[in-house]
Every structure is written in structure tokens, then in C-alpha cells.
């Protein structure tokens, strides 16, 4: 018996085999869930190719969070295929180049606004759009929303405005947890340590994280291994963590807690 038997889960953010969302979708399927994968914009074809390696996910649904029409169409498509949702995985992040690695004075408001729209506000947008389907969850304890986070409580080198986006995401998660709790929908952050994905490689100086993280983490850390992130996602999506909401669960070898 799988931990997610009978669960219907929507997974955003699958781009390549290295995507955190790819590992999560793979583990969800292994635990008995049915999964729908979404893709966005120019990456949609790559998502389609990557998701062929995930058995039984069917056709990828287009869902660019900056396109309101696509969101409506995605909700309609998920309603038709699944009729309800027991889980929603938000693994979406993007910031224009000026927002990362150039300090806090390089980006214009428009650039910061784009980062906010895609990386932070999209969690509220998707939670609201899919709320009617999440309300229909038949899972023990109700539905679960998780968002991929990177410790927003500290200022890390080079992460700059993306750190601000993650701090906002963490706060948003608490407000969504407050509002959606009465619907038995929980909302939690999964704060991962650095993993070598396409998005991570676009952060200038990402190697600095790679070198220092494993030294700071009492449990050690491997930037090529996201299996602990996937396992924790399964736990958060499953009834095992049915009383946990508004929380940040760190999967980073313990680095965030060290002085």
C-alpha cells in the first residue's frame, strides 16, 4: 500500500529530470498517486519530453501563471480529468537577471514586479483557482498544498531579490493556511537546500552555495541529490502530516539552524 494511494495531485514546475518537481512527481507516482503535470511558455515542449519519463501522467497541461486565460483552461482540464484535487505542488520560480547576483539596487520596479508575480503571487493565484477542486478532496485530513521554498529568514550571497520573494512566499503561506484551513486545505513550505537544477544554475555564483552548504550542514548536503526533498514532499502531501499547516519544513541538512 502506498502513502498516497487514491490521491490526485497536480504538480507544477517540471522542466528537466533535475527539476525538484520531477523528483516529487516520480515519488508521488511510486506511492500510488495519480499525477497531472503542468508546463509553461517556451519550456512546455521540454516539460512534455521530460514527463514521458513519468509513467501514467498523460498529456501535460499548459499553465503559465502570467496568463489568466491559461489558468482558466488548466482548471477546466484538471476538473475534467480528475474532478477533485488532493494535492497541489507549487515549484515555480523566476526572476529577471537584474534581480540576482547584482545587489539590491540594480533591478527596476518592473523587474521586481515580474519576480513577485511569478515566484510569489502565483501561489495565491493557483491556490484560489484550484480551491473548488481542493475542497472536494477525499483524502484523510483533506487536501495539501506545498510550495518549494529557500530559507527566506536570512540574506544569502547573490540570492538578492529572490530572497525577498521567498520571504514573501513564506508569509503568504501562513495567510493562505489561515484562510484555507476551514476548508481542510493545508499549506506548507518545503525549504530545500541548494540543488543543481536549471533555475539554480542561472543564479550567478551558485557554486558558492555548493561549497559552503555541506560544510555548514551538520548532516551534510549533496547538491546533486534531491531525493530527501521528494520524500519530504510525499510526507507533506500525505495524511501523515494532516495537522501541519502554515509551517516551513526545512530539508537542508540542518544548515539554516547553525550559527
Catalog residues that contact ligand NAD under the rule CB under 6 A.
12-16, 19-21, 40, 43, 63-66, 91-94, 118, 148-150, 192, 194-195, 197-200
Alpha-carbon distance values, 230 to 101, 174, 209, 226 (Å): 28, 22, 20, 7
Nearer to ligand NAD, 16 or 212 (CB): 16
Nearer to ligand NAD, 139 or 226 (CB): 226
- Min separation Cβ 100 and ligand NAD, Å: 11
Length of the chain (residues): 259
DSSP state of 181: G
Query: Does residue 166 carry a catalytic annotation?
Result: yes
Q: Which of 53, 166, 175, 201 is catalytic?
A: 166
Q: Which of 53, 102, 159, 175 is catalytic?
A: 159
- Min separation Cβ 44 and ligand NAD, Å: 8
Query: Does residue 201 carry a catalytic annotation?
Result: no
User: How far is the C-alpha of 201 from the C-alpha of 16, rounded, in Å?
Assistant: 13
Q: What residues does 149 pair with on adjacent strands?
A: 191
Per-residue burial over 221-233, b = 16 or more CB atoms within 10 Å of its CB, e = otherwise: bbbeebebbbbbb
Note whether 71 and 125 are within 8 A (CB): yes
| Of 12, 124, 113, 22, nearest in space to 63 by CA | 12
Nearer to ligand NAD, 55 or 201 (CB): 201
Nearer to ligand NAD, 119 or 142 (CB): 119
- Min separation Cβ 34 and ligand NAD, Å: 20
User: How far is the C-alpha of 66 from the C-alpha of 63, rounded, in Å?
Assistant: 9
- Min separation Cβ 128 and ligand NAD, Å: 15
Would you name the residues annotated as active-site residues?
159, 166
Amino acid at each position: 500500500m502506498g502513502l498516497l494511494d487514491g490521491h490526485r495531485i497536480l504538480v507544477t514546475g517540471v522542466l528537466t529530470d533535475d527539476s525538484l518537481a520531477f523528483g516529487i512527481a516520480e515519488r508521488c507516482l511510486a506511492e500510488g498517486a495519480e499525477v497531472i503535470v503542468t508546463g509553461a511558455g517556451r519550456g512546455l515542449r521540454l516539460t512534455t519530453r521530460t514527463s514521458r519519463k513519468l509513467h501514467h501522467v498523460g498529456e501535460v497541461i499548459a499553465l503559465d501563471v502570467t496568463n489568466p486565460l491559461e489558468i482558466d483552461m488548466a482548471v477546466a482540464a484538471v476538473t475534467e480529468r480528475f474532478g477533485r484535487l488532493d494535492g497541489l505542488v507549487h515549484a515555480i520560480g523566476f526572476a529577471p537577471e537584474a534581480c540576482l547576483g547584482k545587489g539590491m539596487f540594480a533591478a527596476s520596479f518592473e523587474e521586481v514586479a515580474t519576480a513577485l508575480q511569478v515566484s510569489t503571487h502565483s501561489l495565491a493565484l493557483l491556490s484560489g483557482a484550484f480551491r473548488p477542486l481542493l475542497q472536494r478532496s477525499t483524502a484523510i485530513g483533506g487536501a495539501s498544498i506545498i510550495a518549494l521554498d529557500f530559507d527566506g529568514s536570512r540574506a544569502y550571497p547573490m540570492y538578492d531579490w529572490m530572497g525577498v520573494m521567498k520571504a514573501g512566499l513564506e508569509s503568504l503561506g501562513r495567510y493562505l493556511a489561515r484562510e484555507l484551513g476551514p476548508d481542510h486545505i493545508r499549506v506548507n513550505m518545503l525549504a530545500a537546500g541548494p540543488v543543481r537544477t536549471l533555475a539554480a544554475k542561472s543564479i550567478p555564483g551558485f557554486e558558492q552555495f555548493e561549497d559552503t552548504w555541506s560544510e555548514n550542514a551538520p548532516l551534510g548536503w549533496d547538491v546533486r541529490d534531491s531525493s530527501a526533498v521528494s520524500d519530504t514532499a510525499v510526507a507533506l502531501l500525505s495524511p501523515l502530516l494532516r495537522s501541519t499547516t502554515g509551517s516551513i519544513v526545512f530539508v537542508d541538512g540542518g544548515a539554516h539552524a547553525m550559527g
